[in-house]
Chains A and B, each alone.
Chain A
Amino acid sequence: MIATERAPPGARNQRNAGTDMATTVEQTSDPMRAVTPDEGRAIFDHQARRLLGISGEDFLRRWDAGEYREIADTPGNLHLMYLALLAPFAQQDR
């Protein structure tokens, strides 16, 4: 079993760390909308950095390699599964 890399203390609550207009909304805009592939990649990358301190691309590479396979659904690591469920944001043009 490997140890998960965690973002620095408090990082998981940093709401605006690394965000840009691709990942945030104007509250006057449509409350539900589809994102572009570029926006999707930015969203996924932001979440990977917020939750793990690594890039979205790096998370997908590690996930594909099975590094998180045994721990993603275990206490203290549930953010891994959350992130995995968001992966289609980064894979829209695959």
Chain B
Amino acid sequence: MTDSHVFHTGYAPTPDPPPSAFPGAQTLTLVPRGGAAGDPASLRTLHRQRGIAFSVAMRYRVVRSSVGTNDGLFAVLLSSYAYQVLTNDGAEILVFHWHPEDPWRPNGKSEVRFPHLHPPQALPTIDLGPGFPPVAMRGMHIPTGSIEIEDVVELLIREFDIAPLREDWRAVLAMGRRGR
């Protein structure tokens, strides 16, 4: 789908006990060919057109596991994400968010803590008829459950006709999902 590279801030584990309420947050993003880290990666469709772009920001923590046979080993825990499906000029089509923590809020909690989807900005309001206020979906936070990056990649290939770079993409995505 894209030959982007990945830049990240590292593997430093979160101290135990943590020194602050928001310790050890690392982040990663894509580096598209010919672009800079964090820029949207332009994607090619099966028809060799480029109208869709994709960007990723994922925060994670490295923590020591205390579970079963993994006791004492380190694990990577995803703590926030933004998966953005964009037009090539940067307009949002679909944006998947999960950002339960917000260190800049007084209580440290984000206003919308559940994983959610932001619908397309261009979505028109839905007219419910006389006497009812129209429904504006574009401002909604639609609950999604946790979305993995594999889910978004599959969505792009299946529904947006983005060309996979390899024929065994299903197996690669399945391997990524099994790794969790």
Q: Which residue of A23, A50, A66, A85 contacts B59 across the interface (Cβ within 8 Å)?
A: A85
Determine whether B176 belongs to the interface, using a CB cutoff of 8 Å to chain A. Answer: no
Q: Closest B-chain residue to A9, C-beta based?
A: B89
On whether the beta carbons of B5 and A25 are closer than 8 Å, the reply is yes
Q: Which residue of A10, A66, A75, A86 contacts B89 across the interface (Cβ within 8 Å)?
A: A10
B-facing residues in A71-91 (Cβ within 8 Å) = 73-76, 78-79, 81-82, 84-89
- Cα separation A14 to B82 with both chains bound (whole Å): 20
- Which of B35-43, B66-74, B151-159 forms part of the interface with chain A? B35-43
Give A51-85 as 1s and 0s: 1 = Cβ < 8 Å from B's Cβ atoms. 00000000000011010010001111011011011
Question: Are A88 and B59 CB-contacts (below 8 A) given A23-B36, A35-B37, A64-B104?
Answer: yes
Q: Closest A-chain residue to B58, C-beta based?
A: A85
- Cα separation A3 to B104 with both chains bound (whole Å): 19
On whether the beta carbons of B121 and A19 are closer than 8 Å, the reply is no
Which B residues touch A16, using CB under 8 A?
Answer: 34-36
Max chain A Cβ within 10 angstroms of own Cβ: one of B9, B55, B111? B9
- Cα separation A15 to B9 with both chains bound (whole Å): 21
Q: Which residue of A23, A44, A85 contacts B80 across the interface (Cβ within 8 Å)?
A: A85
Max chain A Cβ within 10 angstroms of own Cβ: one of B25, B26, B37, B57? B37
Q: Closest B-chain residue to A7, C-beta based?
A: B90
Q: Closest A-chain residue to B27, C-beta based?
A: A88
On whether the beta carbons of A63 and B104 are closer than 8 Å, the reply is yes
Determine whether B141 belongs to the interface, using a CB cutoff of 8 Å to chain A. Answer: yes
- Cα separation A34 to B37 with both chains bound (whole Å): 12
Query: Could you jot down 9 A-B contacts, CB within 8 Å?
Result: A15-B39, A31-B5, A32-B8, A35-B7, A78-B92, A78-B97, A82-B82, A85-B80, A86-B38
Taking Cβ atoms with an 8 Å cutoff, the residues of A that contact B are 10, 12-13, 15-16, 19, 23-25, 27, 29-35, 39-40, 43-44, 46-47, 50, 63-64, 66, 69, 73-76, 78-79, 81-82, 84-89, 92
Taking Cβ atoms with an 8 Å cutoff, the residues of B that contact A are 3, 5-11, 25-27, 29, 31-40, 55, 57-59, 80-82, 84, 88-90, 92, 95, 97, 99, 104-105, 110-112, 118, 121, 138-139, 141
